[in-house]
Every structure is written in structure tokens, then in C-alpha cells.
A and B are shown apart, each in its own frame.
Chain A
Amino acid sequence: MLRAQRASGGLPGQRQWRGGCTREQRGARRASMSGAGLEKPQLIAHLQQALSYTAFQALWVPRSARFLCLGSLPRGAGIIQLYELQSGRLSLLRQIEKPKPIKCGTFGASSLQQRYLATGDFGGNLNIWNLEAPEIPIYSVKGHKEIINSIDGIGGLGIGEGAPEIVTGSRDGTVKVWDPRQKDTPVANMEPVQGESKRDCWTVVFGNAYNQEERVVCAGYDNGDIKLFDLKTMSLRWETNIKNGVCSVEFDRKDINMNKLVATSLEGKFHVFDMRTQHPTKGFASVSEKAHKSTMWQVRHLPQNRDVFMTSGGAGNLHLWKYEYPAQRSKKDSEGVEMGVAGSVNLLQNVTLSTQPISSLDWSPDKRGLCVCTAFDQTVRVLIVTKLNKI
């Protein structure tokens, strides 16, 4: 109770008043809260575990109650930890150390049966590991000159049609697409021309993989650029600038005809683009929303409902949002060209978990409402979000 007050910013005076409330009042308050709980989703901090290193990313192992924490040990080595949810606690099943700190990872290009992990590290290396035998990588390439900030995979896990591919975005300004079947060289490379200033690529994702041919990569840069590369036509399909560094972009689903894209930014804003209708000049319609004053580190869509997503904030807070479509998703402009219409965003719930930024977040693909997040307070937390099926 006390801690709750403190966390909610209570001050001595306030505490006095709170302390004065009777048992009945408290009961009533609880009743009203649980009444609210009936309608609204609630975020429960189910389990947490202090770590002895800085975790950059946590991600679920598909079809399991296990997740990985990727990070950097104080002495500058990389670490992968495998945790399993067991009744009431987290148990560390495995710990793998690697020479370079590991920034990011994905299972997206691996089959459900293999579940090979692809990682990007501080040295710019892309590695694919078999977690059963992690001594030597199955695939390894020095893909970038500098740190790989972001990685995404597609074509595995039954998500996305077509070949398995991995995309990496690095501080060296390049975005490269890899096929695990092709050694050493990327299958596609998007980089600025010589002499042009290299922007730090902070985030990359795949999307639009609804059949064998279609596929796009979306990348966000430190200067606020968002670029959409079409891999089918090998062209830049669309770009925009949201003024502040793009911390995270994500399609609501990777394996459908592009529907929505969410981009979060450095100053605490996020933009939702309706990707169904592209206007020749205006591009995609978007709506933006400001959640708080701190950086929005990450956005992750609920795998079971593409219109619900969670953003993680620099002030240790999580916000759960829902996108509401407009009555008509497209309209004709004055010249009769189709253009998109953006919807609106509703805040479903928000919580503050920590004073430090929450650096990553991952929804369990298998259990609706279960997610794991890492924060710079060196803690990994498993959260349960309730009532997501009733939204």
C-alpha cells in the first residue's frame, strides 16, 4: 500500500488524507477498481528478475514458455540468457557468453521446429545460433562496420510467405537483407551514396509479405527519416520525416497486405500510418499521439490483435493503445485520386514500472496478453495484460 502511494507520487500531506480513509472506503475503492478492471485491460507485473548485466532485448522463444535476454556484460562481453517461466518464478536454464555485446535478436526467419536465433552485435556481426548447440554459429557474417542496432526476420514461424530473410540496420547507415542460405553477401543492400552523411539506422522491420513475391523493409533513422524499401521492385517506395529520431517502427502484421505502421520517436510521440492507401504525393495518412515527455523506445503490436499495441517509454512506463479505424479508410482528393484517412488512437491502459527506460518489449506469440520487457534498471519483467480478448 505504502509503496503504491509513493509510486503514484503521493506526498506527505496526501498520505495523511489517504491514511484517514476507512476500511469501507478502501473496500469501495477496490470494488470500483475491479469494476474498472472488468472493462479495461490491466497490466500485472507477474514476475521479475534482477540481472547482472544490461539487457537490450528480451524475446520469447516461439511455442514455449521461455524467453531470451540479450545484453552486454559489464566487462564488455555479450550474453544470452534463457529463462523459463515456472510456477511463480523465473528459472535460468542456460547462459551463453559471446565476445561482443549482443544488441538485438530475432526468431523470425527460422522454422517453428528449428527455432534458430539470429543476433546482431556491437561489432556489426550477424550470427545465427542453434540454441541447443550455441558454441559455433550456424551462420555468421560481418555484415556491418559498426553496431547492428536492429534486426528482423521473416518467412519463418509460419509468419510471412516466401523465403526466410533477415534484415539488419546499423550505425554505419546501411540496411542489409540476408538470406541464411547465401553466405557472406547480403541479398539486398540499402546505403547512402559515398560522401553523403551516414545516418544511424535505429530500427528495421519487414512487412507486406502476404505472398511469395511481395515484401517491404521499413527503416527508421536518427534524423527522423522513415524509408520504405520495396524488395520486390528493389526501389524506395516511400519516405517521410517525423522530425525526431525514429526509435522503433513496426507493421501491425508482417504477413498481410500492409495495413498499418507505427513509428515511435525520440521525443515521446508516435505516428500511426495507414498503409493501405498510398497517395502519389501525400503518401500515407497518419495520426500522431504524444504519450509522455520521454523517449518512446519501442512499439510492439499484440500478435493476436493487430489493432492493439504497446509502447515502452523512457520514464519506465508502458502504454497500451488501440487504433480505431475511421468509418471510411480512403477517400478521393480534389483530383479524384485515392488517399488514405487516418483513424484515431485510444489509450487503454498505462503503468509505470521503473524509473529507467524500458528498452525492449516482446509479446508472447502463443499466450495472449503475456509479455516480457527489459529495462535499464537491469531487470527483466514478465507482465500479464488482462482482458485483451474483450477489447
Chain B
Amino acid sequence: MSDQPMPSMLDQGLTKTYQIPIGHLDYKFIEKCTDVKHLEKILKILRSGEEGYYPDLTLFCEKRIECLAPGSRALRKDKPAATAADFTTEEWEEINGEIKSWMTEMQEDYKIQLPKTQILHERLDNLPPVRGSDSCVPIGQNQGSGNKQRKKNVPRDYREWDKFDVEKECSKIDECYEENNSKSRLLTNSSGPKIETTIDITGMSQRERFFIANREKEKGNEAFATGDYKEAVTYYARSISVLPTAAAYNNKAQAEIKLKDWHSALQDCEKVLDMEPDNLKALMRHATANKYLQNYQAAIEDLTEVLYVEPENALAKKNLLEMEQKLKDIKPVSKTHTKRQRILIQDIENSNGEEECERGSGDKKTGVLVQEEIATEKSEMGNVQKKFTSKGDGCRSDDKETQNQREHTESGAKNGRSENRTSKHLPDQEAEVNGYLNNDKKKSGNSNIKEENPRSCGTVSSSSGKNISTLLPTTAAKLKSEGNELFKNGQFGDAVLKYSEAIESAVNLGVQNPHDLSILYSNRAACYLKEGNCSDCIQDCNRALELQPFSLKPLLRRAMAYESMERYQQAYVDFKTVLQIDSGIQAANDSVNRITKTLIDQYGPSWREKLSPIPVVPVSAQQHRWNGTFTSESKQKSVTDVSGDRQLQINSEKTEERFRILKTEGNELVKKGKYNEALIKYNECMKLNSQESTVYTNRALCHLKLCKYEEAKQDCDRVLQIEDTNIKAFYRRALAYKGLQNYQASVDDLRKVLCIDPNVAEAKKELEEITQFLNPNHNVTASSQQKQRKKIKIHEVTESNKQESQVSTSEDAMINHIPVEGGAEKCVPLKRSEKLLISEPSTAYDFGQSINAVNARKDKAACADLLMIINPPKLPMLLSNKLDGDTFLIFIQALECYILGKDPGLVYQHLFYLSKAERFKVRAYLLFNFPL
């Protein structure tokens, strides 16, 4: 029809409304016309129909306008509301499903939310006074004029408003407006009263808190979108004050990055990563912050981790290259220094170097971060052993308690660090030892300093980024080494003088490197500590920590100083921080135990509330990260690790302690795969304290692993009653539902998980998988279900493999389920074979998995069990072409040792069908002919 617009009518005149030549109502003209106004007029004519109806031409004209001016008002048309026809089926279902689930959620919610008058009254009491009764005071202050005060409550009229000198008034208002602004900013910046007092969470239900936290977060997002980063940070902080969520921390970090507040950003990222170890955004932000703090090595670690999860992340790749380049640039310079210094160090001590530089040991290729760290560990262990054999005996005589010694031997095997303690008592022995351990009673004063050298060397060689000129000016360096010497000789007072000089000269020469300065301060602090000058020690430690947050030694020294000043709370916090950095420091562990007792005696069971929050240590500052033996719970709360048993006896009356120990033991058992035993422990835990949700989530995990889905579900329900946003519980309940084949409920739970935190990859995966089951096309037959169940297993195995690497790469203080589940990694093969006993493999892949597991453990019994449940004729199919020598052998052995006695017929059948397997002949040839 487009060709038809009646040629006879062309050029016949003008249109009625706009006096446009009729000829303009033409494809060619419209195509060429660029005058939007003109086109709009044409469109109006076409739409009005006064020159006839040309739908296609109208459409064409619309498109032309759209292309020229997409925002044109002429394009706005009356449209009916969208209907199902405007969406794809999936979209429509999604929309409806979302509304429906919200409705049910709300209906349940409504029932729960019955008025709680008690709390309400309390909250009402906290309200500001009624305006006009008391509020006249602030008004008087602000306006400073009495008559207004008087009039305040009297009706005001426009004339009165008019009487004001507008300009004066406005400027006055502006002033006070600005004042208020700045005041509010100030308030929030000082992190203080506004945030804490304004969002008063007393009497709020979980739901309310969730709701309000969310609102505050949204406000933050909006402010962020507008570019008001300060305001955004404020609102995120408020959100966190109501309910800490990973998302809020993550957003806050982003806003802080915009504000170039790298340290805070780093801390917030750490918190996110505590909650969600594989949050990519947080990792990226962490890397960015590290980059600007010039912690290139740490940035590289972060980026590597990102690329591990998401190998295609272009941004991460780019940044990684950039970082590596920067590191390279720095490298050559630092290398020369390193060499020189190493020699110097080696004079003093020969073994410590590795320890200190493990954080960024020169190897640039952090891609293999894990290995690197493990390697470091090994070498460290090696050192330790050397030391131990050579000098270990000497230390026994010292004032250490026998307990410590025992612990030391116990833990020595586990992580080489505790050996240090032994060696420290040797007069000639190196330093770092006492960095950890020099309690006041211990004498080996000399040591502290030397370790600093290797340390600085370590960092010079490695961590790189800091500064090209990492070395101290020569004078300072000289002074420092003199100080070290004096310290070694026990002349602490003189050492202090030397260090002070060194600091002065360093400062005067404008040394920018915080690291070196921090070491000097830290050394001086050590001297002060030795002298018993605790307050100066603390001051120096503070300075050192300002320059180099979360460095171990200053923290430890400060902790010790606090302890000797009997400021136990601060000491406790510092020791805990130290333990976050390195969990293996026995002295810190012991002190924490000791202080905990003191604090309990002092404040009673609620002593924890008296503490200031323990800062979260950035990943980069943490050592022993590969040492994934700590579960989150034990890490965060428990004081017991190696000495758990003894503690148990000593403190058996203190239920809290006992509770924690039981839980830790339970966690350990979970890690070893002994779910039944772990269950018993957790049950005991619950007798002591039924409100602790982590125990329930942990028990739920055990139930899950034991395939007791119903119980697992109940546990999760309990948790969710206590704490209705527990993401772990949702996730586990989803798995339980899945096990119970209640896929709908499972999907709901997973959605909630994703709703709380959209970045949980496992949940997404599960969700996809389960949604497939929910698909009506899927016919739910028994066999397919079995298949599904196995799929899950495989999935879990891969999951825990991934976690394994996470545990090693990311910090070990991860709060959530990962460590607990990750702990299960060791028993993966066991678990698998156990489960395989229950269900028969239906595909070659499944079978292959089980066989691998069996092979890995040489578990003939398991193999026999496997063979028992397999229908012999299926054997060739299951084996496909995967029959290898080991499998063959273990089959034969299993058949011989276990099955032959019970069911010779089956053995025959198996052997018969085994001979039918694809690679049987080759295998037989290789096995029997070749060796012979």
C-alpha cells in the first residue's frame, strides 16, 4: 500500500491545519527532511486523518522523528496498559510469580507483626518533645529574637511572612542551612552521634531492621547516583548500623573509593569478603584500594582471585597487567637493595627472612599464590626444625609453663610457628621469636630487633609497591643497626636513644616510606616494653600502626603493654587482632585465654559487651591463610584451639566456654567428615545454649551430609526463627528441600538467598538446576530423580573443591559456611564412596566418579559394595572406555576378598561382563603379559 498514496492528490495544495504542501506527506520527503518540528506537524496531520489514513506512512514518519529526536513529545502516544501479550511467557510468569511470593510473604508477615505495646511505649518515650512545648528553645537559639519565640504558637499569616526582609531572611536561612548541613556532615563524619542515635534499633523486629536497613541503603544508592558520595557513605553506614549486610558494605566501599578514602574502602571490602568470600565486586574494589595504597602485590592477589572465579573478566585482566607492570618497574631497583641487605641480615640471623616476606615474597607470579604460600610454609617449617634440633633443648629450662611446652609440641607439627617460642630463649637466637612471645617474664630481650631487618628486607624485595626508595637514609639505617645491637645486649635505654635519633633523622630527611618508620617506632616500642615503660610503648605502637596498619609486632607489643597496665579490654582486642593476622602465635593465644578469664571475673558473663569492636584485618595483612584449620566460629570467638581439651577440663563449669569448645569440636569433626559424631557434639551444644543459630546451621549441615533432609530442614527453620535473614540457613534449607524433592520450596529459599545477596554463585547454580526440575516438561520418574540426586553430589564435590582453593587464597576468617563446608574437603572421597553405596550409578560419568574415589583410597570394601549394587550386564556400559589398570586390579581384588565369599555367582557374572568391556583386552595384555 505504501506505493499507493494516490499520485493524483500530490501537489494539490496545502493541508488545512498547518498549511503544509500535501506533497510533503510523502516517503521521500519525510526521509530527507531533518526539521523535527516540520515532521511533527506532518505526523499530526497524518494522525488526524484529515488527508486520509496512511498507517504505514504514519509509522514511517514516527520512526523518522524517533531517529532524529528520540525524546520528541509527538511520539508520546496513548497506550493501554501492558498485558500478558506484551511479554514472553517466562517474563510474565516471573512477574506474576514475584508478586505472588511477595503476597504470601506479606500475609505471613502480617500475622507475625502484632503490636508489642511494651516496646512501643519505650520507643514513644524516646521521642522528641511536642513542638511548641519544649521546642521553643532551639528556635530561640537559632533566631535569636524573643518576639518570634512568643509568637511561635500563634497562628501566622501571610502578611506576617511578608513583613520579613526577604533577602535578609533568606541569607539568614541560608546561613543556618549551611550550618546545619555542615553540622550534619560533621556529625556523620565523626562516625558518631547521628548514626548511632538516630537509628535506634531497640525494640525493632528483625523484619523491621531489614526493612529500614534496606531503605537507608537505597538512600545511599541514590545519593551515590547523584554523586553525593559523602552522603552516600553516611547512609550506608546508617544501614549497616541497623543491620550489617554485605551489599551495604560493598556499596560503602565503592563510595569510599570515589572519595579516595582507600583505607576505609579496604576495610569495608574485607567485611564483605568475610561475609561472602567470593564476592567479585568486593574483590575488585579491594584490588582498587590496594592499588592506590600501592600494595600492588595484594592487588594482584585480589585480581588473581577474581580471575580464578571469572576467567573472562576483562577489567581484572587489564588491571592485573597494569599491576604486574608496576611491580616490574619497581623490581629492579629493589632487587639491588635486597641483595645488599640480605647479606647484612644474614650476618645477624640466617633463618628468618622467609617468614617475614611471605606476604609478598619476591615471586611476582601470584597466579600460583597458593603454591607460593605453601612453599613458604614449607621452608619455614624447615627452618624451624633446624632450629629445633640444634637448639631446642636449651629452652626448656626457661620459665615457660609445662603446658606451653606441650602445646608447642602438639602444635609444632601443625604449624611451624610455635617453634619460635622454643628458640627465643636461646640467647643467640634470632629475633622474631620474642616479637611474639616476650612476656615480661621472659628475658631474652635481645631478639626483637634483628627480626626487623629481615622483615624490612622482605618487604623491600617483595611488597614492592611502597616506594622505590625503600631504604632508610644511611644515617638512619646506621643508627637503627646500632640500636639493634644495643637492644641485643640488653641496653634498652641506649637503644631507645639510638632509635629516637634514627626516627628523627628519618623524619627530617623526609622519608616517605611508612614502613621503615613504622619499624623504627616498633623497635623503640620493644625497648620501652622491656624497660617497663608501657605508656610510651603504647604510644610508639600507635604511631607504628598508624603508619602501617595491622602490622603484627606493634600490635603484639601494644597488647602486651596493655596487659601489663591491666587494661585488659584493649589488650584483648589487640590480641584478637593479632590472632586474625596470624593465628599461630601461641603467646597471643595464651594471653587471650588468660585475659578472657580475667574479664569474665571482672564483668561477668556479659563481658563481651564491654569490648570495643575488634577490627577486621585485611586479607593482605593476614598470614597463615592457607592454614584453613580454623572455622569461622572458632576463629571469631573461641579462644581454644590446640589446647581445647585442657581448657575443657579447667573451665568445665563455665558453660559458655564449654559451649564454644563443643562447637569447635563439632566443627572439627565435620571437617573430618564424622558427621554423626559432630551431630552429638552439636546436640550437647544446644543443651547449653539453644539460641545460638550457628550451631543449628552447622547441625543442619551434618544432617544434610547424612541425607537426613527433614531434620536439616527443621534446624534451618529454627535458625530462621531466631534470625530471619540467615543466608546460610536459607541455602541449607534449600538443599534440604531439594533432598526432600520439594523443589518449589527449594527454589523459594534459594531466591531468598539471592535476594539477600545476589552474588552467591552456589545458590545461583542450585537455583538453575532446581528450576529445571520444576519445569513441567520434565517427567519426574524415579530414575531421573536418582540421577538428579547424584548430580547434586557431584556438584557438591566440585563446590568443595572450589572452596578448598578459596580457603587457601582468601582469608581464613571467613564467616560463612564456606569454611565449615570447606573443611569437609578432606573427606570428599570418603563421603562420595559412602554415598555411592546408597545409590546406584546410572551413567558412565557417575560410575567413573565413584571409581576414581575408590581408586584414590584403595578402598576395596567400597569397591565391593559398589559392585554389589551394579547389575553386571551394565558393567561394560558403565566402564565405557575407562577401564585402566588400577580399576581392573581393584575390581579383581574386591571381587576376590569381599564378594566371592558371599555370592560367587555375582563374581562370575562380573568377571564375565568385565571381559566384555571395551578396553579389557588391552588391559589384560598390559597387566599380565607385559610385566611377565
**Co-complex (A, B):** yes
Write the residues of chain A forming the contact surface with B, with a CB cutoff of 8 angstroms. 3-4, 7-9, 11, 13-14, 17-18, 30, 33-34, 37, 42-46, 63-66, 84-87, 111-114, 155, 158-159, 161-165, 174, 177, 179, 181-182, 187-194, 196, 210-214, 230-239, 253, 255-257, 259, 278, 280-281, 290-291, 304-307, 317, 325, 329, 346-347, 350-353, 366-367, 370, 383-384, 386
Docked-complex contact B99 and A317, CB < 8 angstroms: no
Q: A292 — nearest CB in chain B belongs to which residue?
A: B76
Residues of A within 8 A of B180 (CB): 211, 213-214
B160 at the interface (CB under 8 A from A): yes
Residue of B120, B207, B211 with highest tally of chain A CB at under 10 A? B211
Some 29 contacts from A to B, beta carbons below 8 A apart, are A17-B55, A33-B86, A34-B88, A63-B109, A64-B109, A65-B102, A86-B103, A111-B120, A113-B119, A158-B208, A158-B211, A161-B198, A179-B130, A190-B155, A191-B157, A192-B159, A231-B131, A232-B142, A233-B143, A306-B222, A317-B78, A325-B226, A325-B227, A329-B226, A329-B227, A350-B76, A351-B79, A352-B78, A384-B95
For the complex formed, measure the closest distance between the CB of B744 and the CB atoms of chain A, giving whole angstroms. 14
In the assembly, what is the distance between CA of A162 and CA of B197, in Å?
11
Residues of B within 8 A of A17 (CB): 1, 53, 55-56
Known: A114-B120, A188-B132, A307-B222. A233 touches B173 (CB 8 A): yes
B152 at the interface (CB under 8 A from A): yes
For the complex formed, measure the closest distance between the CB of B925 and the CB atoms of chain A, giving whole angstroms. 61
B113 at the interface (CB under 8 A from A): yes
The 8 A-B residue pairs with the shortest CB-CB distance in the complex, in nearest-first order: A193-B157, A236-B161, A45-B81, A65-B106, A42-B82, A187-B131, A13-B53, A193-B159
Residues of A within 8 A of B73 (CB): 290
Known: A193-B159, A257-B181. A64 touches B106 (CB 8 A): yes
In the assembly, what is the distance between CA of A379 and CA of B76, in Å?
25
Q: B160 — nearest CB in chain A belongs to which residue?
A: A193
Residues of B within 8 A of A259 (CB): 226
Docked-complex contact A230 and B173, CB < 8 angstroms: yes
Instruction: Tell me the chain B residues, 633-671 only, with Cβ under 8 Å from chain A.
Output: none
B929 at the interface (CB under 8 A from A): no
Residues of B within 8 A of A234 (CB): 139, 143, 148, 151-152, 156
Contact of B174 among A14, A210, A231, A278 (CB under 8 A): A278
Residues of B within 8 A of A191 (CB): 155-157
B107 at the interface (CB under 8 A from A): yes
Write the residues of chain B forming the contact surface with A, with a CB cutoff of 8 angstroms. 1, 49, 53, 55-56, 71, 73, 76-83, 85-88, 91, 95, 99-100, 102-103, 106-107, 109-110, 113, 115-116, 119-120, 123, 127-133, 138-139, 142-143, 148, 151-153, 155-161, 164, 167, 169-171, 173-174, 176-177, 180-181, 184, 194, 198, 207-208, 211-212, 215, 218-219, 222-223, 225-227, 231
Docked-complex contact A163 and B132, CB < 8 angstroms: no
Docked-complex contact B103 and A351, CB < 8 angstroms: no
In the assembly, what is the distance between CA of A332 and CA of B802, in Å?
56
Residues of A within 8 A of B100 (CB): 87
Docked-complex contact B109 and A163, CB < 8 angstroms: no
Residues of B within 8 A of A232 (CB): 138-139, 142
In the assembly, what is the distance between CA of A304 and CA of B211, in Å?
11
In the assembly, what is the distance between CA of A37 and CA of B142, in Å?
52
In the assembly, what is the distance between CA of A11 and CA of B198, in Å?
60
Contact of B80 among A7, A46, A306 (CB under 8 A): A7
Docked-complex contact A351 and B184, CB < 8 angstroms: no
In the assembly, what is the distance between CA of A48 and CA of B91, in Å?
21
Residues of B within 8 A of A317 (CB): 78
Docked-complex contact A7 and B130, CB < 8 angstroms: no
In the assembly, what is the distance between CA of A255 and CA of B160, in Å?
29
In the assembly, what is the distance between CA of A64 and CA of B176, in Å?
40
For the complex formed, measure the closest distance between the CB of A317 and the CB atoms of chain B, giving whole angstroms. 7
Residues of A within 8 A of B164 (CB): 235-236
Docked-complex contact A113 and B173, CB < 8 angstroms: no
Residues of A within 8 A of B143 (CB): 233-235
Residues of B within 8 A of A253 (CB): 219, 222
Q: A33 — nearest CB in chain B belongs to which residue?
A: B86
In the assembly, what is the distance between CA of A210 and CA of B212, in Å?
14
Known: A43-B81, A113-B120. A196 touches B106 (CB 8 A): no
Docked-complex contact A237 and B148, CB < 8 angstroms: no
Docked-complex contact A210 and B184, CB < 8 angstroms: yes
Residues of B within 8 A of A87 (CB): 100, 103
Docked-complex contact B139 and A351, CB < 8 angstroms: no
Contact of B71 among A30, A63, A346 (CB under 8 A): A346
Residues of A within 8 A of B194 (CB): 211
Docked-complex contact A42 and B198, CB < 8 angstroms: no
In the assembly, what is the distance between CA of A182 and CA of B181, in Å?
30
Docked-complex contact A163 and B130, CB < 8 angstroms: yes
Q: A345 — nearest CB in chain B belongs to which residue?
A: B71
Docked-complex contact B99 and A367, CB < 8 angstroms: yes
In the assembly, what is the distance between CA of A383 and CA of B83, in Å?
11
Residues of B within 8 A of A257 (CB): 181, 184, 231
Residue of B49, B85, B99, B129 with highest tally of chain A CB at under 10 A? B99
Given contacts A11-B53, A113-B115, A188-B132, 4 further A-B contacts (CB under 8 A): A34-B86, A163-B127, A211-B198, A281-B170
In the assembly, what is the distance between CA of A187 and CA of B139, in Å?
14
Residues of B within 8 A of A162 (CB): 128
Residues of B within 8 A of A8 (CB): 77-80
Docked-complex contact A190 and B226, CB < 8 angstroms: no
Known: A188-B131, A236-B161. A383 touches B120 (CB 8 A): no
